Amino acid sequence: MAFDPSPPASIQNLLHRACHTWGLSRLDAELLLAMALGKPRSWLYAWPEHIPGPAIQETFIQLTQQRAAGKPLAYLTGHKEFYGLDLQLSPDALIPRPDTETLVDTAIEIIDRHKARRILDLGTGSGAIALAIKSQCPACDVWASDVSSQALGVARNNAKRLGLSVHFCQGCWFDAIPMNCGPFDLIVSNPPYIAPDDGHLEALSHEPRHALVAHNHGLADLFEIIDQTPKYLADGGFVWLEHGHTQGAAVRERFHERGYQAIESRHDLAGLERITGARLYP
């Protein structure tokens, strides 16, 4: 469908077209237009009759088309808010989900209640979990790993911009962790947990597949972390993992088989079983 570029459209006409011709939500259209203009969203309400110049019209049209084709807003704006932090994003890292804030809530609760100090976030992606923990609990020594050097670049950049000090290391799960930096009091992770044949992957095609998909019905990485964690956890230490809402029983069972105690699952904001944790005693 051709997007008629002439006559140049006003702010209100551009928004109208983005919503009615291209099917964007009003919020997405406003955020993209504000970005193309380099202004805050409120500016659009102050100047609805303003006619942006041709370069801005063109930029907005391109952003609108990409959004209409399914590219997530966070990848178009390059930003996503997570736990009150403004994170920069690129398609190298998974977009942080509100569900994952449940994992951060739980981590902070454990840090406060049990004086956990050495914390590890495995598969940190944009750095969301590690940075949220460090921002809330500055006394903690936070480590974060990822297999992707591009994702780690995004995470390091976020840490720098936010002035948060996290130790980043590259590698697959615990391969990233030098032996001398453990043991950890708390290990958290939001690993890939979607089964390769899950229909809901189609809607996530813009995000890195290796950050979403795991073999064995989506359980392979969860199980690997559960199996490897004992080598890196302090006595009585905690591990909490995010998982799919139907995977709680399988994750609890694996923790049980590997000798963990105090195994417990919690629900996310949508009321779905989303995270499971356990402790390990010698």
Closest to ligand GLN by CB, 46 or 249: 249
CB atoms within 10 A of CB 53: 10
Residues 111, 142 contacting (CB under 8 angstroms): no
Closest to ligand GLN by CB, 123 or 237: 123
Closest to ligand GLN by CB, 58 or 105: 105
DSSP bridge pairs for 264:
277
217 lies in the site for ligand GLN, by CB under 6 A: no
208 lies in the site for ligand GLN, by CB under 6 A: no
CB of 212 to ligand GLN, least distance (A): 4
| Residues 77-106, mask of contacts with ligand GLN (x by CB under 6 A) | --------------------x-x-------
CB of 261 to ligand GLN, least distance (A): 25
CB of 78 to ligand GLN, least distance (A): 20
The two tokens of residue 113 are: 């209640």
Closest to ligand GLN by CB, 18 or 212: 212
CB of 16 to ligand GLN, least distance (A): 31
DSSP bridge pairs for 142:
119
What's the Cα-to-Cα distance from 114 to each of 120, 121, 142, 237, rounded to whole Å?
16, 18, 16, 9
Closest to ligand GLN by CB, 97 or 206: 97
Closest to ligand GLN by CB, 68 or 201: 201
CB atoms within 10 A of CB 248: 18
Rounded to whole angstroms, how far apart are CA atoms 2 and 40? Answer: 28
Q: What is the pairing mode between strands 118-122 and 184-189?
A: parallel
Site size for ligand GLN (CB under 6 A): 9
Q: Is 123 left (phi over 0), alpha (psi -120 to 50) or beta?
A: left
Rounded to whole angstroms, how far apart are CA atoms 230 and 105? Answer: 23
CB atoms within 10 A of CB 230: 15
Q: What is the DSSP letter of 207?
A: S
Give the position of tokens 């697959």: 172
212 lies in the site for ligand GLN, by CB under 6 A: yes
Closest to ligand GLN by CB, 118 or 274: 274
**20-79 residues near ligand GLN, rule: CB under 6 A:** none
201 lies in the site for ligand GLN, by CB under 6 A: no
The two tokens of residue 8 are: 């140049």
| Residues 176-195, mask of contacts with ligand GLN (x by CB under 6 A) | --------------xxxxx-
- Applying CB under 6 A, the residues found at the interface with ligand GLN are 97, 99, 190-194, 204, 212
